[in-house]
């Protein structure tokens, strides 16, 4: 599904605003990363956990910048970036000194996820309390679509990694089944909403050019 979102982004690239254009870089990275993962080229000690930890930090930094791009209050930008910097620092400490480089840094992942969930909720709050007279149709509003995908994706992965260590040690098969299904569904939903957001941008710009 990353490939579909990538193709949609590439096709509608000229219609996108500056913030959404940056998603092409992210999707290009994810397509290459998934391809490399299929063949296990980045596995060390039969695991790619070390690379997943790095990927999580990169995605966290990108989504922080992406979500913050919808906040026009310059005084809040510095506060958010300082908070994100603290989260990244704590994540590196967890990876290097607590859970280890070769293991899945679940504590760091949950911390990053909670920060992004807070940012998404903050966006929803500002959107609902917007004093502007402009009518916004949420179902075709690209920022709302993209952030909804991000919100539910990170909400699900927070649930997964909050219970990850406990359930792995218990070797709970039902947890694996439910978690894998939820993760696949939310990944599908994220890429679907990204693709739909790109198409909405394209349709909006095309309609404007015909007027």
What pLDDT digit, counting tens, does each position of 167-211 carry?
Answer: 666 666 676 777 778 888 899 999 999 999 999 988 887 765 544
Buried b / exposed e over 175-185, threshold 16 CB at 10 Å, is beeebeebeee
Q: Domain coordinates of the chain in residue numbers?
A: 2-210
Q: What is the pTM of this model?
A: 0.91
Count of CB atoms situated within 10 Å of the CB of 62? 15
The residues near 202 (Cβ < 8 Å, ≥ 6 apart) are: 11, 12, 15
Confidence at 82, pLDDT banded by 50, 70, 90: very high
């Amino acid at each position: 599904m990353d490939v579909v979102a990538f193709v949609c982004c590439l096709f509608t690239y000229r219609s996108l605003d500056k913030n959404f254009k940056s998603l092409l870089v992210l999707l290009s990275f994810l397509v290459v990363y998934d391809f490399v993962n299929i063949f296990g080229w980045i596995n060390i000690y039969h695991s790619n956990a070390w690379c997943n930890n790095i990927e999580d930090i990169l995605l966290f930094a990108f989504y922080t910048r992406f979500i913050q791009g919808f906040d026009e209050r310059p005084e809040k930008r510095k506060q958010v970036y300082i908070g994100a910097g603290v989260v990244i620092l704590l994540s590196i400490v967890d990876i290097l000194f607590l859970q280890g480089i070769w293991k899945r840094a679940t504590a760091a992942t949950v911390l990053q996820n909670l920060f992004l969930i807070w940012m998404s909720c903050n966006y929803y709050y500002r959107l609902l309390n917007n004093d502007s007279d402009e009518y916004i149709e949420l179902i075709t509003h690209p920022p709302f679509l993209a952030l909804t995908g991000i919100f539910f994706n990170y909400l699900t992965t927070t649930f997964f990694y909050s219970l990850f260590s406990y359930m792995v040690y218990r070797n709970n098969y039902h947890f694996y089944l439910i978690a894998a299904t939820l993760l696949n569904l939310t990944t599908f939903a994220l890429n679907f909403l990204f693709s739909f957001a790109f198409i909405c941008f394209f349709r909006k710009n095309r309609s404007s050019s015909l007027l």
